[in-house]
Structure formats: C-alpha cells, structure tokens
Amino acid sequence: MPQPTKGARLGGSPAHQRLILANLATSLFQHGKITTTEAKAKRLRPYAERLISKAKRGDLHNRREIQKVIRDRETVHRLMHEIGPFFADRNGGYTRITKTLPRQGDNAPMAVIELVSQKTVTDEADRARRVAGSQRRRPAAAAPAAEQADESAETPATEAATTETTETAEAGTGSATEVTADRNAVDEAEGSAAEPAAEEPAEDAAASAEHTPGSAAARTEAEETSGGPVGPGRES
C-alpha cells in the first residue's frame, strides 16, 4: 500500500486531488509558468518533474503514461518534442518556485511556479567538459585508421612509381638503341659518299701531273717522240 503524503489533501477526495494536479500540470506546460498557492506549487513540483522525466525518454510506453494524466494532445506533443529535449542534459530541477505577495481576501501565501528556461553555468560547464572529452577521444581512435589508410595509399603509389620507373628505363634503352642505329646508318652513308669523292681528286691529280709541262712523264714522252723508242729491234 502506498504511503500517503503528509499534510492536508488538496480537494475533498483523492480523485479530486489527482484532477487538480493534472490541470495544474497542463496549465504549466502550456504557459511555462502559473501563479497558485504555495501549497499547490509545492505539491505540483515533483508531479510535473516526473512527467518531464518520462517525456525525456520519449518512447511509446512513457507517452501513454503521460496521456493518462495530460488529456490535451497539443500539450502532450509540446511536452514530448519541446520540453523533454530541452532538458535532455539536465538531471532534475526542471521547475522553479518563487514566493510572491499574499492573496487578497484570505491572505493565502502565493507563489509562481515556472519551467527553467535558461541554462545554468554549471550545465554549460558540464556540457563543455563532455564536448572537450569527446574531441580528445576522437583523434586517438581515428589515428590507427588514418595510419592504415596512409599505408594502403602508399602501397599502390609505390607500385605505380616502380612501374613508371621500369617503363621509363625500358623506353630510354629502346630510344638509345634506336639513336645508335640511326647514327651508324648515317655514318655509313657519309663514308660511302666520301670515298668516291676522295678517289676522284687522286685520279685528276695523276692526269694533271702527266700532262704538266716539265714533268718527268712529259720529258719521256718528248724523247720518245723525237728519237723513237730505244730497243733491240732498232739500229743505233
């Protein structure tokens, strides 16, 4: 059996109290803040924060648990998709109670209960610390993957460089052989063309030497012409 809460019950019966708290929570989620008596605000605070915790989980079961209390569909949608995600990085303390002046007439103590709409310094510091920690862990996890990627990238590059060097060397050898053969062919052609040119001047020189006046060949020819050949068949 659940332990009953201390203090006077809101309303005349437990059912009436549940309806009062459900209506107060609906108004709080719709408007963001409401003004009520201090007793109702203190009873509403844990009730509303439990509903926000269910909205943070966001699954179907918790949505149905919220719909048992909050009968307005638009309010349930706002609670699940706006209020719950807003407090995703906050563990409790979703509401704030501020005391105000007493109510005129019966002098009942009044208070304003509202949803916390601003991030505190502690929440921002915790979030910055978590982000910095996650950023430090990411490079450490990404370093082995980067090294493997570099090795896999270097292996094809090395093979491509070796292939290119071999092809270049073969192409250079082939081109050198072709250049050598071309040079030999040119030298042979020049030699064959130069030999007749060298022989022709020699024959011309011999012919010019024979017909040159005063030369030995010219004198011999002149003697033979004047005296005739000297031989055994001719009387001297």
| Tens-place pLDDT, residues 193-233 | 544 444 444 455 444 555 555 555 555 555 555 544 444 44
209 touches 215 (CB < 8 A): yes
Query: Coil, strand, or helix at residue 192?
Result: helix
Closest CA to 44 of 55, 54, 35, 57: 35
pLDDT the model gives residue 135: 85
pLDDT the model gives residue 115: 95
pLDDT the model gives residue 199: 47
> Average pLDDT in the 131-153 region?
69
Task: Read off the pLDDT band of 62 (50, 70, 90).
Answer: very high
Q: Count the Cβ atoms, other than its own, within 10 Å of residue 225.
A: 9
Which of 22-36, 57-71, 162-176 has the weakest average pLDDT? 162-176
pLDDT the model gives residue 132: 87
Query: What angle, rounded to 10 degrees, do the helices at 60-67 and 38-57 form?
Result: 150
pLDDT the model gives residue 136: 84
Counting residues of the chain whose pLDDT is more than 90, the rounded percentage is 40
pLDDT the model gives residue 55: 95
pLDDT the model gives residue 32: 93
State yes or no: pLDDT of 85 exceeds 70: yes
State yes or no: pLDDT of 172 exceeds 80: no
Residue with the larger pLDDT of the pair 4 and 81: 81
By CB atoms closer than 10 A (0-12, 13-18, 19+), residue 7 is exposed
> Average pLDDT in the 138-165 region?
59
Residue with the larger pLDDT of the pair 136 and 95: 95
Residue with the larger pLDDT of the pair 235 and 73: 73
User: What stretch of H or E contains 110?
Assistant: strand 110-115
110 touches 35 (CB < 8 A): yes
Which of 57-61, 128-132, 145-149 has the weakest average pLDDT? 145-149
